[in-house]
């Protein structure tokens, strides 16, 4: 058995299940779950129709590289969304469809990490924010690297502190994951953050993987989040050297079950990733590809989706402001809320007394030097219909008042 499996942590939702089981339930109210970030808004009908209409291709093996039509629609979307120069994103060499970003974020570490190239006689490092999307850590571990966590807290505006990493650690680093906009905090790093990261990437020779799967869920319609490819262009790095972005239709288009995303960036990295994936065997079914083309080509449904989240933020955040000190995040659909008591205990009380399910913040982060940056936080994913979210907020306010 691969010994690295022993190093994997239990997934947060498994821990949550254990935390909540066997509690005595003190209310008859129905359960409202804000724990899992699975969008509940309706997917675009035209995309569903395309999915069904193209089922006839089910007898065919799809190619790992995906159809030209899909790669073209992704390249066009990137070009329009990030105001990139024409032809800077080549659909042939800079874009690869993936079966959701989860598997791609995992697989990229298997492609990039080289355990034979160790510095200072130590395993390679994969650097990531904390709290973080758990796949980054599992990917690093299974690739034989050591995860290095950069705490993201109020004091550092919830951004990883790149200057907290020593030169010897940067020397060992082969891959850095950035979550932009961040799950769970909704923070968008400024261009200066990426510029510094790219200087370091050039100096110490590592790859930057920018997970941008919440890029289309933002509060200010006139201020879409910055993306890494856009930063590359502004720096004249039109070859996107060392850079990859990951995005998907799961949040943008409420198509989590379709498992459709892409990776885009440096052609050498894309070529290596394609080679890896050819053996790994993750190719998107052809009818999913046709439906994805339709989704990437349409922005109207995305604007509607964004507006639904905006309405929820406008209703819920003022309700919770004094109880949990939350503010409207720049992006994403999660609230990262400070709890008046331990986050696990708060989660238990909220479930047993009020039947609202949330995720303890400490499950999304790691303890470093005796401190877990997720401690005393909960993550609430506002994925349910607005009335359910309002009801959940009312119950939370009552719970806090009773504490
Ligand atoms: C930060 C982040 N990245 C990536 C993913 C994976 O999304 P998908 O595989 O559906 O594209 C998620 C899903 O919740 C996420 O929260």
Q: Cα–Cα distance between 142 and 155 in angstroms, integer?
A: 32
Q: How many angstroms does the Cα of residue 102 sit away from the middle of ligand 1?
A: 5
Write down the domain spans for the chain: 3-42+301-402, 59-298
| % of the chain with per-residue pLDDT over 70 | 99
pLDDT tens-digit profile of 143-169?
Answer: 999 999 999 999 999 999 999 999 999
Considering only CA atoms, which of 290, 292, 295, 282 is closest in space to residue 56? 290
Q: Cα–Cα distance between 250 and 39 in angstroms, integer?
A: 8
Burial 83-94 (b: 16+ CB within 10 A, else e): ebeeebbebeeb
For residue 226, CA distances in Å to 82, 222, 330, 367 come to 8, 12, 11, 30
260 lines ligand 1 (CB under 6 A): no
Ligand 1, atom nearest to 183 Cα = 1
Q: Would you mind telling me the total number of residues written for the chain in this entry?
A: 403
> Which option is the CATH number for 3-42+301-402: 3.90.1150.10, 1.10.3720.10, 1.20.810.10, 3.60.20.30?
3.90.1150.10
Contact of 126 with 287, CB cutoff 8 Å: no
Ligand 1, atom nearest to 104 Cα = 9
In this predicted structure, the answer to whether residue 120 has a pLDDT above a threshold of 70 is: no
Sign, Cα dihedral of 140, 144, 145, 151: positive
Tell me what pLDDT residue 121 has: 77
Considering only CA atoms, which of 195, 220, 204 is closest in space to residue 169? 204
- CA atoms within 13 Å, Cβ hemisphere of 171: 8
Mean per-residue pLDDT for 75-89? 97
Q: How many angstroms does the Cα of residue 185 sit away from the middle of ligand 1?
A: 14
Q: What is the mean pLDDT of the chain?
A: 97
Ligand 1, atom nearest to 247 Cα = 11
In this predicted structure, the answer to whether residue 5 has a pLDDT above a threshold of 80 is: yes
Tell me what pLDDT residue 192 has: 98
Tell me what pLDDT residue 182 has: 98
100 lines ligand 1 (CB under 6 A): yes
Contact of 316 with 329, CB cutoff 8 Å: no
Q: How many angstroms does the Cα of residue 117 sit away from the middle of ligand 1?
A: 30
The CATH code for residues 59-298 is 3.40.640.10
In this predicted structure, the answer to whether residue 34 has a pLDDT above a threshold of 90 is: yes
Sign, Cα dihedral of 58, 60, 63, 66: negative
Q: Cα–Cα distance between 365 and 167 in angstroms, integer?
A: 24
212 lines ligand 1 (CB under 6 A): no
């Amino acid at each position: 058995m691969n010994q690295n499996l022993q190093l994997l942590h239990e997934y947060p939702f498994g821990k949550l299940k254990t935390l909540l089981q066997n509690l005595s339930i003190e209310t008859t109210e129905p359960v409202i779950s804000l724990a899992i970030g699975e969008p509940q808004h309706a997917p675009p009908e035209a995309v569903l129709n395309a999915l069904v209409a193209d089922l006839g291709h089910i007898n065919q093996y799809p190619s790992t590289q995906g159809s030209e039509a899909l790669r073209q629609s992704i390249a066009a979307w990137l070009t329009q969304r990030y105001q990139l120069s024409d032809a800077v994103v080549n659909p042939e060499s800079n874009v690869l469809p993936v079966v959701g970003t989860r598997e791609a974020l995992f697989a990229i570490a298997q492609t990039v990490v080289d355990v034979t190239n160790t510095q200072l006689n130590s395993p390679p490092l994969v650097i990531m924010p904390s709290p973080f999307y758990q796949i980054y850590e599992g990917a690093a571990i299974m690739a034989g690297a050591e995860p290095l966590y950069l705490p993201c807290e109020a004091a550092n505006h919830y951004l990883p502190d790149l200057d907290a990493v020593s030169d010897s650690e940067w020397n060992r680093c082969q891959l850095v994951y950035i979550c932009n906009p961040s799950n769970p905090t909704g923070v968008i790093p400024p261009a200066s953050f990426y510029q510094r990261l790219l200087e370091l990437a050039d100096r110490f020779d590592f790859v930057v993987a920018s997970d941008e799967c919440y890029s289309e869920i933002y509060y200010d319609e006139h201020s879409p989040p910055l993306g890494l490819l856009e930063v590359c262009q502004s720096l004249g790095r039109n070859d996107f050297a060392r850079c990859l972005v990951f995005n998907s239709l799961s949040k943008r288009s409420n198509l989590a079950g379709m498992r459709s995303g892409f990776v885009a960036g440096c052609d050498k990295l894309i070529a290596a990733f394609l080679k890896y994936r050819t053996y790994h065997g993750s190719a998107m079914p052809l009818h999913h590809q046709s439906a994805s083309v339709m989704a990437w080509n349409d922005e109207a449904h995305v604007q509607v989706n964004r507006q639904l989240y905006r309405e929820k933020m406008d209703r819920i955040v003022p309700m919770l402001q004094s109880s949990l000190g939350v503010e409207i995040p720049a992006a994403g659909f999660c609230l990262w809320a400070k709890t008046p008591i331990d986050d696990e205990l708060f989660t238990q009380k909220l479930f047993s007394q009020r039947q609202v399910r949330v995720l303890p913040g400490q499950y999304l982060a790691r303890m470093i030097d005796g401190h877990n940056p997720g401690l005393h936080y909960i993550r609430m994913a506002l994925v349910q219909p607005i009335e359910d979210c309002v009801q959940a907020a009312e119950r939370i306010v009552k719970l806090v008042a009773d504490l």
